[in-house]
Amino acid sequence: MIPMTHAQTQPATPVIPLPPRAAHLTTLTGATLTLATTFLAWTWTTTFPGNLTINGYPGGLQTITLTGATLTLLYATTALAPPRLQRLLAPAGTTPPTLLLALGTFAATWYTLAAITLDLGGLVNLEPGGYAAGAASLLTLTGALALPNTAPTTTETTRRTPWQRLRHSLTPGPPPPPPRTLPTWAETLTIAAAFALGLLLLTYGIDTDYGELFTGYLILTATGLAALHRAGLTTRLNHLTTKHRTTTLTAAFTAAACFPLTQTNDTYTNLATSILVFATVALGLNVVVGLAGLLDLGYVAFLGVGAYTAALVSGSPESALHARFPFWAAVLTGIAASLLFGILIGAPTLRLRGDYLAIVTLGFGEIFRITMTNLNGKTGPDITNGAMGIPNIPELNILGFNFGTTHHLLGIPIGRFGNYYLLMLLATLTVVLVFRRATDSRTGRAWIAIREDETAATAMGINAFRLKLLAFALGAALAGLAGTIHAHVITTATPDQYQFAGTVPPNSAFLLAAVILGGMGTITGPLLGAALLYLIPSKLDFMQDYQLLLFGLALILLMRFRPEGLVVDRRKQLEFHEPETPTAKAPTP
């Protein structure tokens, strides 16, 4: 008979020594009180944004605390519910998601109290409701830390510090049991509901009016998504999306197309259009970096080639060519020009590897910017107007549809940026389909083999140089496609828009950080990474001057705690997180 180890014979003891029933009661009581305090005034003056002075009506950051407390109460109650309901809402266990939601509610609440204190000048500006909210959220977190683990593993220790408990909640746990097979229509409705919820969540974040509300939104969203992952719901959703890939792609782009219908003006639609442009370019860079493993530090130059080509042939009065191509011809010209530059740059340089290739591509990006500046009629031919660029690019007019005027759909006005948003969405769909087909093809598998070990791939008969050049050219063409539309959106093309690093995207550092942060080799990863990296500095003005510093800090933390990126590629996850094989303990005589 094999004796059981100490970790297997004794259950994990929470860091706060409370009986399980008392821990659940404390969590439930704290979450209920936190929810109730959102209906009280937290400050006495409307100077703080959001108007937190009204009793009986939550406003501003109080709605963030209200949402977090409601979700915490839901999962704390689920732990006491019948097993069938637990398997539905938390198939991987209720304790980690409850703890993460309690942590998010606590962080959002105390951040609000700290912001009121700092913005208004002292604790005297807090009303009793604010103090009650801080105490109730602390009580909720205390009870959550004392909850017993509902998903036991063989690696539990007998006692955990608060940091170990929180880190355990963030660490991926055992996979949830397989769900019951649902009818096809039910799985389709589940996928549609998930993307509809994602649209509402993204719309709320983009529509936030001030930085404090956006910060609270980020805090609760990050902890809430982590809680859903630890509950096992995102794992089950991933299984459904993998099973119904076409349905998932259709639902995703249908939800994205509905975004302009949720806006009443172009203020936030302009922001969403810029996010979509840079997310599309990041997905094109993902072909080069994520699939083929080529470190390209000058990729933004291909975006500039497409933009300048479109500016020269689209009828701008400042264009040296004085040409007016239809849109489809301008797009094809921009793609062809970027493709040609990709081949010309890649042919002599792709025999290099690693840091040498990175330095050469960095040099190409700087040469492109300097060349566009010097083609001003003084230091070179008069083609690009130098630093002034090519302004006054006319609005698109496709089959009589003028993108510069407001149109109505279902009685809802869609302005200029809404029109270009939908056009850019079609370009994004094209890039996604190209990336998906390339990944699943024989060429895509060869790219992945080159990325993992070029020497071994060459020994197996793969023509590494030809395939790397193909990846470089394809990535350049996709960037050129986005560049042609981007030039019409901003109606100008100037050299300072296409740098390696800068405070305003697009730049190569921004695009590379988006790919690494989101997850190399995935479709949704670069889209998510670009959205986060563009949206956060846009909403938090103080971060714009420290953008590069924060990019570097985010990458350091990501490499330490989640090197595979936010969106997990299965191959990368197995590479960075090798499964631990517990060693058998010698039997005691």
Quick check: 532 and 279 in contact, CB under 8 A? no
CA distance 419 to 406: 8
Please state whether the peptide bond connecting residue 17 to the residue before it is cis, i.e. omega within 30 degrees of 0: no
* DSSP symbol at 407: E
CB atoms within 10 A of CB 183: 8
Three-class DSSP labels, 219-250? HHHHHHHHHHHHHCHHHHHHHHHHHCHHHHHH
pLDDT in tens, the chain (589 residues): 344 443 343 444 445 566 778 888 999 999 999 999 999 999 998 889 888 999 989 988 999 999 999 999 999 998 888 888 888 888 888 888 999 999 999 999 999 999 999 999 889 899 999 999 999 999 999 999 888 765 444 344 344 555 565 555 555 556 666 667 778 888 889 999 999 998 899 889 888 888 889 999 999 999 999 899 888 888 888 888 888 888 888 898 899 898 888 887 788 888 889 889 988 999 989 988 888 888 888 888 999 999 999 999 988 888 888 888 888 899 999 999 999 999 988 888 888 877 888 888 888 888 988 998 888 878 878 888 888 888 888 888 888 888 888 888 877 888 888 899 999 999 999 999 888 888 888 998 998 888 888 888 888 888 888 999 999 999 999 999 999 999 999 888 888 888 877 666 677 888 888 888 888 888 888 888 888 888 888 888 777 677 777 777 877 887 777 777 787 766 666 555 555 444 444 444 4
CA distance 205 to 225: 14
pLDDT at residue number 155: 42
CB atoms within 10 A of CB 542: 8
Q: Which CATH number fits domain 263-388+422-572: 1.10.287, 3.10.28, 1.10.3470, 1.20.120?
A: 1.10.3470
- The one-letter code for the residue type at 77 is T
DSSP-assigned states of every residue in 15-56: SS---HHHHHHHHHHHHHHHHHHTTS-SBS-TTSTT-TT-TT
pLDDT at residue number 407: 82
Quick check: 105 and 220 in contact, CB under 8 A? yes
Q: Is 176 helix (H, G, I), strand (E, B) or coil?
A: coil
CA distance 540 to 279: 19
Question: Which letter, b or e, does each residue of 312-322 get, where b requires 16 or more Cβ atoms within 10 Å of its Cβ?
Answer: bbbbbebbeee
Which helix (H) or strand (E) segment is 397 a member of? strand 397-398
pLDDT at residue number 160: 56
Q: What is the pTM of this model?
A: 0.83
CA distance 171 to 166: 9
* DSSP symbol at 568: P
E-assigned strands of 401-447? 401-402, 407-409, 412-414
- The one-letter code for the residue type at 398 is I
pLDDT at residue number 271: 87
Q: Per the structure block, which two tokens stand in for 94? A: 């209720």
Alpha helices in 260-396 (DSSP H): 267-286, 300-313, 327-349, 354-374
Domain segments of the chain: what residues?
Answer: 7-175+209-231, 263-388+422-572
